Structure 1
Amino acid sequence: MFKLFTPKSFKHMALSQPYLKLEPVNDIWKVYWKGGFISETDSWNNLRLQAPDNLYSIATGPSISDQQFNNLDGGQCVLVNGAVQLVLDNKISTPLAVMVEDARFIYERFEMLLALPKGTRLCLVASAMHALGVVAGVEGLKHFNLMLIDGFETPYGSPKRSVASAPVNSYRKSSNAKLSLDLNEGHFGCGTVMYCGIQMAFHLRVKELYLVGFDLTNFDQPRFYETKDNAAWTGLQNAYEARILPALELTMQTAEEFNMQVYNCSHTSIIPRSLIPYSDCLTK
């Protein structure tokens, strides 16, 4: 119904309807559920004040099973999607943030998130925040320190926009990819949730970024926290050449501009070592 009666420029709002409402106030959002006030989101500007020098962005590739986390400071970690299992397994401590850009993950795995400590910083796109309210209600929303991962070209509550209308220092683009440098303005997708963690690193202006569990191989194999019987579908194979590689090439070009070092800790990754060098810092 929303899509039928809404202008095309607002159709990106459909998956965050009908119960969630976000109201912008300076650099935060007030969160409402079914008309009732829930909380205020944290500020991306405030998070930047907590930025570590080094950041580990941890995904869910099977190589995670061969990684060592004993000496890893949890405050340096950003976990994407099911990587939260590492907290539940006591392999890392409280992360800097958890990032989810997929409402489907919320619907299928919300119980993993609710097992996280109360007050965990949870960064969600609007559709995923709506999904959390649907499956976990008001108490589920209140369990977390919420943050909105807005769409750079599809901002919440506003019509679609061109990147040309955004501040020029808030993004970089190539012929086939776009990269956010300021999560106040929003983020871009490229077919892998790891790109959220990468853009978090640029927002924080870290000196070194380590990509963990970023395999992009064995597309038919379960993630480290799944089994063959409950593995969710993945579109990585189709997205790899067309979207993911161009985004990673732009990542490395921009990292050089910002004097940021980026490493891939997956020993089984399909990503060329000539593009992102390998680090064995977490090898068992």
Structure 2
Amino acid sequence: MKSFKFKIKSIRIIIRRRIIKQFIKLTKPKEMKETSGYWPDMSYKDDTLIFRKKEFETTTLDDFTSKEKHETINIIGSGPSVNEIDKNLLQDKANIFLNGAISIAKENKLPILCLIIMDSTFIKNRFDLIKSIEEPCHLFLNLSSACAIAERDPSILEKHKITIFKISKGEHSNFFNHNESYFSKNLNHGIFDGGTVMSVAIQLAFHFSPKAVYLLGLDINNSTEPRFYETKNHKLKSGLLKDYEKKILPFMTLSKKCYKRKNISLFNCSPVSKLPYDIIAYSDIYKKTNTN
């Protein structure tokens, strides 16, 4: 009964959000289009997140990046190749999880530096994964994903630490730029969307100033296959292949240059990645070893 009630509630939320999106499109200035995922329910002012008059404390971007010091950071995406890594090697590490990749943290009792969610569609379709996070952790959210959580269960925003980020188109002095791609120099001025939530994590990790960052699950080639936590009958569409040439490839090329400038090593741990290894070098540091 509870599951049925939640499904009805979710459908109502989705329909209401579609009506709001259409209302903004027809009556508001074009620049308000990006607010359709959270207006009029949520706002963020003076480091306080407000959902329908209820306030939630947040951890600022500066506090988050200045208080966490790590020599190595792992960014764990959802590519099927994650099934082939040795999860034991992620123990006692600073692990950034993306969307549904958080499922392996629970299964393997892995430490969580933060969970990044940029796409509210993930929350709409896999809220069960968000709900199943038992221990308080750090959620790194934009307003649309934060609102999607609050619409379904605001107590989740009370349970976990929250840091809010905003997506920017770049194009000003607070971003490195090359070939129409951008990379944030200052997270307070926004994070560039490089075609994948992995791009948000790469810019965040950069500002922790580690010695090395490892990208896990950055496959792209097999993005039509189920993510490692999905099944063939229960999977979401992926736009990675569509965005690869115009967004992902230019962003990764720029990322390599930014990391090199700061003397941070950046590695791609996917053995089946579409991204050439001369852009981001391959590492098998987390590969399973044959013990037979």
TM-score normalised per structure 2 = 0.86
Q: CA 1:203/1:60 → structure 2, altered by over 3 Å: closer, same or farther?
A: same
| 2:218 aligned residue | 214
Q: Secondary structure at the match of 2:215?
A: strand
Residue 190 of structure 1 aligns to which amino acid in structure 2? G
Whether 1:20 and 2:42 are equivalent positions in the alignment is yes
Whether 1:50 and 2:68 are equivalent positions in the alignment is yes
Q: Which has the higher helix share?
A: 2
| Unaligned residue ranges in structure 2 (runs of 5+) | 1-22
Which of 263, 283, 287 is 1:283 aligned to? 287
Residue 94 of structure 2 aligns to which amino acid in structure 1? Q
Whether 1:145 and 2:161 are equivalent positions in the alignment is yes
Shift in Å, 1:46? 1.5
Shift in Å, 1:142? 1.4
Measure, in 2, the Cα distance between the counterparts of 1:140 and 1:219.
30
Residue 95 of structure 2 aligns to which amino acid in structure 1? C
Measure, in 2, the Cα distance between the counterparts of 1:19 and 1:127.
10
Shift in Å, 1:105? 0.5
Given that 1:44 and 1:184 are in contact with CA atoms closer than 8 Å, whether structure 2 keeps it comes out as yes
Measure, in 2, the Cα distance between the counterparts of 1:242 and 1:10.
25
Q: Once the two structures are aligned, what percentage of the paired residues are identical?
A: 28
Deviations 1:9-48 (CA, angstroms, capped at 9, x unpaired): 232212112211221x2xxx211221122x2111111112
Shift in Å, 1:74? 4.7
Given that 2:74 and 2:93 are in contact with CA atoms closer than 8 Å, whether structure 1 keeps it comes out as no
| Unaligned residue ranges in structure 1 (runs of 5+) | 154-161
Measure, in 2, the Cα distance between the counterparts of 1:94 and 1:2.
41
**Structure 1 vs Structure 2 CA RMSD:** 1.5
Q: Secondary structure at the match of 1:77?
A: strand
Name segments (4+ residues, structure 1) moved above 6 Å: none
How many positions carry a matched residue from both structures? 265
| 2:257 aligned residue | 253
Q: CA 1:174/1:117 → structure 2, altered by over 3 Å: closer, same or farther?
A: same
For residues 107-186 of structure 1, what are the structure 2 equivalents within 5 Å?
Answer: 107-136=124-153, 138-153=154-169, 163-164=171-172, 168=173, 170-186=174-190
Which of 34, 47, 51 is 1:33 aligned to? 51
Shift in Å, 1:204? 1.3
Whether 1:66 and 2:89 are equivalent positions in the alignment is no
Question: Which moved further from structure 2: 181-190 or 78-87?
Answer: 181-190
Q: Secondary structure at the match of 1:57?
A: strand
Given that 2:168 and 2:193 are in contact with CA atoms closer than 8 Å, whether structure 1 keeps it comes out as no
